[in-house]
């Protein structure tokens, strides 16, 4: 029988006693209290990422937990928050992950304050699907920056899952969690710069279309089904109170203009930052992340597209994937025909971050441990031992206790194929070959730390662009900062003055053919 307090179940949570309903999952309790726990699969018990330490009157181990947790984790009272129901008084501890260590905040060049649009202090924000980055300025210079996890991640790793959650009655909760996460980051940044958040009178916020919908609490139904026509493309100014943001009472928040349902304000800001439309060269811009957004500039013609790569590059759908924090393998290479690696923080490895995942597949391919099809060519003893823990999946050890499974390889295949096929499709629509592209601008946090040689080797980036790639960091944030600090720059004015063409990859036969063709390593 459940042991309950007078008002329900008493839960000792992070040193505080809170009330919970009997039958409520731990994940729902944490979300209701705006505490972060990763739910890349949307709380469907498939990814095993929402681990907490819990004891007391709880539901028995679910079938999913028995499959995803190791015997050692079970012995240490580790549970999956989305699978475990509170049935009485219990204790829950969050398993703390270090703050994200390698989020790209800076662009290719520093932002110079020239003709600021704000009176005292201005804030530029990039809301990425996985991470959030921001910069604070006074009227002379940049004061500081801050970055962290997107608090929306508790509702799923990708935009599709979060949209689905919003459509099932959680839109207001997602909006509140998003605002709370932003306010916490803004407060930390302002405190470090010795000002109050109420002194900020203008903020420019960029992000993909779905992120801006969820931030504003807009109904995302139009983003969830064909013909995928957004009924709100932003490029508008709203009061901060409407978003739940704690800025100056008379402040304004500008939400950057999006191009379509899945070509958002972030790529528009990146186009502004890259300056590709100001040159005569043929250039390709790619922001590789959970959503791969791209733009091709050729003979005064701007073509844009978006492809759903999924969160594999951030490690969310990889068995041992993790953020770029201490313990994450971020680089791998071959030394004397053996796999060598670098671990962030120079400690024992715990898993793989995005750049490490790409290196790992490249190394396994070079050692001929996986075939061009992605299937494992052979397994070593350690991999066979691991197979039992992976429900019979083939696996390959990369370092002590760290491995890639066959399913992980398939996730990388799907993601890298979507990106490469998107690039090839834009070129085909423009009527050019990739050989004619003079520069590939690689934007975003993932691109900032990517080993270009590994990316080319596995087919994430086309071979023709290997020597033409220029990494430009967080171009979306850089573009937002330009729009904030210099009245001469505006992505809204830039896009309204250009013949922008949005390429619908889902309906493009070239993309489907290229997607299949790019699948092999």
Q: Classify the C-alpha dihedral 182-188-189-191 as positive or negative.
A: positive
Nearest to 357 by CA among 402, 398, 313: 313
pTM: 0.79
Q: Compute the distance between CA of residue 366 and CA of residue 334 in angstroms, rounded to an integer.
A: 9
In the chain, % helix, strand, coil (3-state, to 5) comes to 35, 25, 35
For the residues of 139-152, what is the DSSP string, one character each?
SSSEEEEEEEE-GG
pLDDT tens for the chain, 521 residues: list them. Answer: 333 444 589 998 877 888 898 999 998 888 777 676 777 676 778 777 788 989 899 999 998 888 888 776 787 788 999 999 999 999 998 875 544 445 556 655 678 898 999 999 999 999 988 889 999 999 999 999 998 888 888 888 788 889 999 999 999 999 999 999 999 999 999 999 999 999 999 999 999 999 999 999 999 999 998 888 999 999 999 999 999 999 999 999 999 999 999 899 999 999 999 999 999 999 999 998 777 899 999 999 999 999 877 777 877 678 888 877 888 999 999 998 899 999 998 899 989 988 999 999 999 999 999 999 999 886 555 555 555 555 567 788 899 889 898 889 999 999 999 999 999 999 999 999 999 999 999 998 777 788 999 999 999 999 999 999 999 989 999 999 999 999 887 777 777 777 889 999 988 999 999 999 999 99
Domains (range + CATH), the chain = 9-94 (3.10.20.30), 121-265 (3.30.420.480)
> Are 100 and 133 in contact, with CB atoms under 8 Å apart?
no
User: To which residue do tokens 């949307």 refer?
Assistant: 42
* Structure token digits, residue 272: 């502004």
* Structure token digits, residue 405: 């499974």
């Amino acid at each position: 029988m459940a042991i309950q307090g007078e008002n329900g179940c008493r839960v000792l949570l992070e040193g505080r006693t809170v009330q919970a309903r009997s039958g409520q999952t731990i994940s729902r309790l944490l979300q209701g209290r705006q505490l972060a726990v990763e739910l890349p699969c949307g709380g469907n018990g498939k990814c095993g990422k929402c681990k907490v330490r819990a004891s007391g009157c709880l539901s028995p181990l679910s079938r999913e937990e028995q499959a995803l947790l190791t015997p050692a984790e079970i012995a240490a009272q580790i549970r999956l928050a989305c699978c475990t129901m509170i049935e009485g008084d219990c204790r829950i501890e969050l398993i703390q992950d270090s703050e994200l260590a390698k989020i790209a905040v800076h662009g290719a060049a520093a932002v110079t304050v020239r003709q600021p649009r704000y009176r005292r202090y201005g804030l530029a924000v990039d809301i990425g699907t996985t991470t959030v980055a921001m910069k604070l300025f006074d009227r002379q210079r940049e004061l500081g920056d801050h970055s962290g996890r997107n608090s929306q991640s508790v509702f799923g790793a990708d935009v599709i899952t979060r949209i689905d959650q919003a459509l099932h009655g959680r839109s207001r909760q997602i909006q509140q969690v998003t605002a709370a996460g932003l306010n916490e980051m803004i407060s930390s940044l302002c405190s470090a710069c010795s000002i109050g958040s109420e002194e900020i009178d203008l903020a420019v916020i960029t992000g993909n279309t779905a992120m801006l919908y969820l931030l504003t609490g807009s109904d995302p139904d139009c983003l969830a089904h064909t013909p995928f026509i957004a009924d709100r493309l932003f490029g508008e100014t709203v009061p901060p109170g409407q978003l739940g943001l704690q800025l100056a009472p008379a402040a304004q928040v500008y939400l950057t203009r999006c191009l379509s349902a899945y070509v958002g304000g972030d790529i528009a800001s990146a186009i502004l930052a890259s300056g590709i439309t100001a040159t005569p060269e043929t250039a390709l811009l790619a922001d590789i992340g959970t959503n791969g957004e791209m733009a091709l500039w050729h003979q005064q013609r701007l073509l844009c597209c978006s492809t759903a790569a999924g969160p594999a590059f951030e490690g969310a759908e990889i068995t041992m994937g993790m953020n770029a924090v201490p313990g994450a393998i971020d680089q791998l290479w071959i030394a004397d025909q053996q796999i060598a690696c670098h671990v962030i923080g120079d400690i024992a490895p715990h898993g793989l971050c995005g750049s490490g995942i790409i290196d790992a597949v490249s190394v396994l391919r070079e050692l001929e441990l996986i075939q061009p099809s992605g299937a494992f060519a052979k397994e070593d003893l350690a991999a066979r031992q691991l197979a039992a823990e992976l429900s019979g999946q083939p696996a390959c050890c990369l370092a002590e206790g760290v491995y890639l499974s066959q399913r992980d390889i398939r996730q990388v295949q799907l993601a890298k194929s979507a990106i490469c096929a998107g690039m090839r499709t834009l070129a085909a629509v423009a009527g050019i070959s990739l050989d004619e592209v003079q520069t590939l601008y690689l934007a975003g946090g993932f691109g900032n730390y990517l080993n270009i040689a590994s990316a080319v080797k596995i087919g994430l980036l086309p071979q023709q662009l290997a020597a033409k790639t220029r990494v430009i960091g967080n171009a979306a944030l850089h573009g937002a900062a330009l729009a904030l600090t210099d009245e001469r720059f505006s992505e809204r004015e830039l896009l309204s003055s250009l013949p922008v063409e949005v390429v619908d990859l889902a309906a493009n036969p070239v993309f489907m053919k290229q997607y299949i063709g790019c699948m092999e390593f």
